[in-house]
Amino acid sequence: MRIGLIAMSGIRAADPELMALGLTLPGVVERSRVVASMPSLSLLTLAALTPPEHELAYHEIDDLRSAGELPGGFDVVAISTFTAQVADAYRVADHYRAQGAIVVMGGLHVTRLPDEAAAHATTVIVGEGELTWADFIRDAAAGRAAARYAPPAGTYFDLASAPIPRYDLLDIHRYNRLTVQTSRGCPHRCDFCASSILLTPGYAVKPVENVIAEIRRIRELRPGAFIEFADDNSFATRGHYKRLLRALADEGVRWFTEADVSIADDPELLDLLRESGCRQVLIGLESPTPAGTGGIELRRNFKQLRQPDYAAAVRAIQGRGITVNGCFILGLDGDDESVFDAIHDFIDRTDLFEAQLTVLTPFPGTPLYDRLLAEGRILEPAPGTSARCST
């Protein structure tokens, strides 16, 4: 079969007026470009799990409006996307289905709203794609692809089995950053989080030697590449990550990851971060106020518990020469209009190197979405959800 891997993971401005009013500022555009310029690690991983008799082609659509003519001639088209671009992804799915291709969709959004995706895709893969991709490919090649593939309940992918993603499918020199996943999941349960905790409830790490092998493969293809760990929360298992950081120190890489504020508690970890080439950590601070951080993290109120330490943590991390990209969520239930000045003040007094501002977004499948839906506070419920029926 000829398989097209179509990545659609750019950032979309849902409110053109907001863009016109000022969100074309350099800082916003800069981070948008970084996110949009990273390849789809999920598709490259599935490519590595595809038997060699099939032909693979990787194609990215940054913006469907300016994408021009889509590549054709595929027997199977696999589309990976996020909620922000899912409407465009469905148009692409419709396009390829009309051409007679088998269209398979997966990922976080599709996993939570498989019926919505089924209106456009021939096949929907629910959950971690590594677990069912081989079955899908076998069935598609035999002309009997099912409408839906999902792993048995309670089955999760072992990252020790993860293949090296097919970075060789990329026009690799066009990428500013290349991604490596070192862990999946998060020990916290923030109500808004629509990341890998929607796929796996636990926290799993990839063995150190596998991570190093992936980085070496990237650097074979693109020497000097900047590496972004595609993790939701690195360093949750300290012993493992200290081993990884010691191994990384010998590789001479520059890298970025996402973590939580607790890394600042561990001076040895911070030293290892510095020595291993870490340039920036992104931390979800969410709000600089006790009220704003209250109740966000559902297990032990982690964010509110740690909010008093935020400023000292930023200083401790940045004091090692590692910049912090601090993320704030606007519109949290505990915050009133005073939060805008509070955020500006926090950024100013901590010399926060980069800041990311996001409006609270209730993604389907999250506890936040279900709660706001029950309270009648969702303006446009996702298809298939209503105040009586949570996702």
Partner 1 sequence: MNFIPRRMTPAALRQGLIDLARRVYEPGFVQARRERFFETLQRNGVRRNRGLVADDASAA
Q: Which of 199, 197, 193, 206 is nearest to 329 (CA)?
A: 193
Residue from the set 26, 68, 143, 239 that interacts with partner 1 by CB under 8 A: 26
Q: Are 259 and 285 in contact (CB under 8 A)?
A: no
Q: How far is the CB of 153 from partner 1 (least distance, A)?
A: 30
**Per rule CB under 8 A, is residue 200 in the interface with partner 1?**
no
**Per rule CB under 8 A, is residue 40 in the interface with partner 1?**
no
Total residues in contact with partner 1, by rule CB under 8 A: 52
First to last CA, the chain: 35
Q: Are 124 and 110 in contact (CB under 8 A)?
A: yes
Q: How far is the CB of 233 from partner 1 (least distance, A)?
A: 18
CA of residue 143 relative to chain centroid, distance: 32
Q: Computed from CA positions of residues 215, 258, 37, 46, in that sequence, does the dihedral angle turn out positive or negative? A: positive
- Name the DSSP class of 164: P
Burial environment of residue 153 by CB neighbours within 10 A (0 to 12, 13 to 18, 19 or more): exposed
Nearer to partner 1, 87 or 134 (CB): 87
State both tokens at 21: 């009013």
Nearer to partner 1, 170 or 343 (CB): 343
Contacting range for partner 1; rule: CB under 8 A; set: 70-78, 157-165, 206-214, 358-366 = 358-366
CA of residue 78 relative to chain centroid, distance: 18
- Name the DSSP class of 309: G
At 106 the three-state DSSP class reads strand
- Name the DSSP class of 386: B
Contacting range for partner 1; rule: CB under 8 A; set: 18-26, 183-191, 243-251, 261-269 = 18-26
Residue from the set 297, 347, 366, 385 that interacts with partner 1 by CB under 8 A: 347
Residue from the set 95, 357, 367, 370 that interacts with partner 1 by CB under 8 A: 357
**Per rule CB under 8 A, is residue 340 in the interface with partner 1?**
yes
Identity of the residue numbered 276: S
Interactions with partner 1, residue window 157-186 (CB under 8 A): 176-177
Maximum Cα interatomic distance, the chain, rounded to a whole number of Å: 62
Nearer to partner 1, 27 or 267 (CB): 27
Interactions with partner 1, residue window 215-274 (CB under 8 A): 224, 226, 254, 256
At 220 the three-state DSSP class reads helix
**Per rule CB under 8 A, is residue 54 in the interface with partner 1?**
no
**Per rule CB under 8 A, is residue 53 in the interface with partner 1?**
no
Identity of the residue numbered 165: P
Q: Are 112 and 369 in contact (CB under 8 A)?
A: no
**Per rule CB under 8 A, is residue 16 in the interface with partner 1?**
no
Interactions with partner 1, residue window 269-298 (CB under 8 A): 279-280
Nearer to partner 1, 57 or 221 (CB): 221
Identity of the residue numbered 343: I
Q: Which residues of 57-77 are buried (b: 16+ CB within 10 A; e: fewer)?
A: ebbbbbebeeeeebeeebebb
Q: Which of 290, 269, 280, 391 is nearest to 339 (CA)?
A: 290
Q: How far is the CB of 8 from partner 1 (least distance, A)?
A: 20
Contacting range for partner 1; rule: CB under 8 A; set: 22-30, 63-71, 138-146, 147-155 = 22-30
Nearer to partner 1, 151 or 326 (CB): 326
- Name the DSSP class of 145: -
Q: How far is the CB of 372 from partner 1 (least distance, A)?
A: 5
**Per rule CB under 8 A, is residue 344 in the interface with partner 1?**
yes
- Where along the sequence are the contacts to partner 1 (CB under 8 A)? 15, 18, 21-23, 25-28, 30, 34, 176-177, 224, 226, 254, 256, 279-280, 318-321, 323, 325, 330-331, 333-337, 339-340, 343-344, 347-348, 351-353, 355, 357, 359-362, 372, 377-380
